């Protein structure tokens, strides 16, 4: 999950991508279907379907988590880049600010969030991800 958060979700939006696209919503136990030109042969869908069995994969949980906090038509807002605490921030139409933070280091780190008059320090365990919602 760490790689997906850092590179797909946080990394893409930190660099002002307007959306995040995951490889496939559903695949079978052979990680198919693929396009005629190949595609990603080791990328799982959000779910893997095998007969009557459904296995939830990393993308499923990432999509579920992010969509819980970052609402449709949210706008990406600026946030400070860091090497060990990668982050991205959004503004929902309701006025809520949503900050997704990932500690990519091997030790606990502190992440300082400042928004207007509000300021807080969030401790993050090594490899952890946190989502902070600041109400207007």
Secondary structure class of 83 (helix, strand, coil): coil
Between β-strands 118-124 and 109-115, what pairing exists: parallel, antiparallel or unpaired?
Answer: antiparallel
CA 55 – CA 78 distance, rounded (Å): 36
Whether 134 shows a pLDDT value over 70: the answer reads yes
Long-range CB pairs of 123-127 (<8 Å, 24+ gap) are 124/85, 127/2, 127/103
The distance between the two most distant Cα atoms of the chain, rounded to a whole number of Å, is 54
Q: pTM for this one?
A: 0.82
**Mean pLDDT, to the nearest integer, of 2-12?**
81
Q: Given CATH 3.30.1330.10, say whether it is the number of domain 2-134.
A: no
Q: Which residues contact 97 (CB under 8 A, 6 or more apart)?
A: 77, 89, 90, 91, 115, 133, 134, 136
The candidate with the shortest Cα–Cα distance to 74, out of 96, 56, 95, 91, is 91
Parse the chain into domains and list their residue ranges: 2-134
Instruction: Work out the pLDDT band at 40, boundaries 50, 70, 90.
Output: low
| Tens of pLDDT, residues 19-37 | 777 767 888 888 777 666 7
């Amino acid at each position: 999950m760490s790689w997906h958060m850092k590179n797909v979700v946080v990394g893409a939006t930190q660099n002002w991508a307007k959306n995040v696209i995951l490889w496939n919503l559903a695949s079978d136990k052979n990680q198919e279907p693929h396009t005629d030109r190949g595609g990603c042969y080791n990328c799982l869908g959000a779910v893997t379907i095998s007969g009557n069995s459904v296995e939830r994969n990393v993308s499923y949980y990432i999509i579920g988590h992010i969509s819980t906090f970052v609402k449709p038509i949210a706008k990406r807002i600026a946030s400070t880049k860091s090497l060990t605490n990668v982050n991205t921030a959004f503004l929902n139409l309701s006025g809520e600010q949503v900050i997704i933070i990932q500690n990519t280091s091997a030790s606990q780190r502190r992440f300082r969030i400042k928004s207007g008059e509000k300021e807080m320090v969030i401790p993050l365990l090594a490899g952890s991800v946190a989502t902070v919602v600041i109400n207007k």
